[in-house]
Amino acid sequence: MYRSYSYLEEGRDFQAFKFPPEVGRVPSTVVSTTPNQEERVARLMREHLMISLHDHPTLVPENIFELPELIRQGRDFTAYDGLRASRLHVVFDNMLDGTSMITSKSGWKWDDVLYDLGMRLSDFAHQEYVRVVHRVSDIEAARSHGQIGFVMSVEGAMPIENELDRVDILYGFGVRLMGLVYSEGNALGGGLKESRDGGLTKFGRQVVRRMNQLGMAIDVSHTGGRTALDAIECSETPIFVTHAGARALWDTPRMKPDCVIKALAEKGGVFGIEAAPHTTLTANHPRHLLESYMEHFEYVANLVGIDHVAFGPDTLYGDHAGLHQVFAKAMSIDSAQTGPSFPEVPYVDGLENPSEFPNIIRWLVVHGYSDADIAKAAGENIMRVLQKVWVP
Ligand SMILES: [Zn+2]
């Protein structure tokens, strides 16, 4: 089985790190099903497109404090075996995002993002399972060949600085979805950590127009509320919140208020539910686990309809809670989690890494969702938006 960069000699050509197992790192709970239900889960996952709208299907070192050193090497290690276990057909991969500190202390540098993209693409070019998706038809092509479709995504547009043409360059490197603003405000608009959000700037509007022209999907997961509403209005095609939850259930800046969720849905957009540790909590389930996650899913589905919700778990292979400690400042953890207090967990039980995607389908089956509704939330809703945004 191919492993990342195995076309090179580990230890001689690149620095070796000890990684945790890709499956079964921690005793995460499998949703309990009857044999009939499990058969239905398997059939649904075979017959319908399974898409993760936001994930980081890469490995972080067993000793999480070695992660900054791994990043400085510029090589992100894809968890190929873990991905096979996920039974996903498509994954939106967000690479190093705010932790892409290859040459920088603060992240989001243009050179670092290109370095990250180029290195990942070099790795992918040496194997058969991951297929980088450039247009809608690549998704079916990947599925029919038993491959997983990879959508290269960038969580924030800070790296383009004030250079509009860099959006085209990212597109050329394969990027098919971009967040306008990460938590810290940039030249495009306001981020969720800012106390004032002036909305989408003139430059931000130019970027939205260029993304529409190119056929690159727009994400406002980390923007402030005003900027999100402006982007929804300004874009000619529907946009995404790829990974967030409902502020009505958990009042933190990282969650979205009802007005944003409704405006997004009214324009045909889709809202992916986030599962990174300590994000989608609820008063009923303040200890983060699959139940808290699904409560956010049901809230959004009830608010705007099953046609406008999807799953963007935002998980990875390794100690995610530890990663938040190591990169707390870069990821604005403090400002994103300002709100009610909660017990910290070492991992999100039931949705610890991308391989646990089947647990979402199990939960929906056990809770009486129809095949049609499961198919919508698991992939069809996302496809409907991509068909309007991407090149066919
Ligand atoms: Zn994010």
Q: What is the pLDDT of residue 329?
A: 83
Residue 19 located in a structural domain: no
- Least confident window among 221-225, 267-271, 288-292, 330-334: 330-334
Residue 277 located in a structural domain: yes
Residue 221 CA to ligand 1 center (angstroms) comes to 7
Residue 222 located in a structural domain: yes
> pLDDT tens for residues 73-90?
999 999 999 999 999 999
Residue 24 located in a structural domain: no
Q: Which of 18, 137, 149, 135 is nearest to 86 (CA)?
A: 149
Residue 25 located in a structural domain: no
Q: What is the pLDDT of residue 66?
A: 96
> pLDDT tens for residues 283-326?
999 999 999 999 999 999 999 999 999 999 999 999 999 999 88
Is 90 exceeded by the pLDDT of residue 99?
no
Residue 369 located in a structural domain: yes
Q: What is the pLDDT of residue 98?
A: 79
Residue 242 CA to ligand 1 center (angstroms) comes to 8
Q: What is the pLDDT of residue 217?
A: 98
> pLDDT tens for residues 250-293?
999 999 999 999 999 999 999 999 999 999 999 999 999 999 99
Is 90 exceeded by the pLDDT of residue 327?
no
Residue 95 sits in which domain range? 35-389
Residue 182 CA to ligand 1 center (angstroms) comes to 8
- Confidence bin at 205 (pLDDT 50/70/90): very high
What tokens were used for 370? Answer: 């129809």
Count up the domains in the chain and report the number. 1
Residue 353 CA to ligand 1 center (angstroms) comes to 15
Residue-averaged pLDDT of the chain = 96
Residue 41 CA to ligand 1 center (angstroms) comes to 28
Residue 8 located in a structural domain: no
Q: What are the φ/ψ torsions at residue 58 (nearest 5 degrees)?
A: -125, 165
Interatomic CA distance for residues 130 and 142, integer angstroms: 8
Is 90 exceeded by the pLDDT of residue 143?
yes
Residue 311 CA to ligand 1 center (angstroms) comes to 13
Is 80 exceeded by the pLDDT of residue 360?
yes
Interatomic CA distance for residues 58 and 77, integer angstroms: 5
Residue 183 CA to ligand 1 center (angstroms) comes to 9
Q: What is the pLDDT of residue 336?
A: 74
Interatomic CA distance for residues 136 and 130, integer angstroms: 16
Four-residue CA torsion sign, 344, 346, 350, 354: positive
Residue 140 CA to ligand 1 center (angstroms) comes to 27
Residue 233 CA to ligand 1 center (angstroms) comes to 22
Is 80 exceeded by the pLDDT of residue 337?
no
- Confidence bin at 53 (pLDDT 50/70/90): very high
Q: What is the pLDDT of residue 330?
A: 80
**CATH number assigned to the domain comprising residue 193:** 3.20.20.140
Interatomic CA distance for residues 299 and 256, integer angstroms: 12
Residue 245 located in a structural domain: yes
DSSP state, 148? E
The pTM (predicted TM-score) of the whole model is 0.97
Is 80 exceeded by the pLDDT of residue 355?
yes
What tokens were used for 261? Answer: 């969720």
Q: What is the pLDDT of residue 21?
A: 95
Q: What is the pLDDT of residue 58?
A: 97
Q: What angle do CA 173, 49, 272 make, to 5 degrees?
A: 70
Residue 253 CA to ligand 1 center (angstroms) comes to 13
Q: What is the pLDDT of residue 334?
A: 78
Residue 55 CA to ligand 1 center (angstroms) comes to 9
369 dihedral zone (left: phi>0; alpha: psi -120 to 50; beta): beta
Residue 288 CA to ligand 1 center (angstroms) comes to 17
Residue 34 CA to ligand 1 center (angstroms) comes to 35
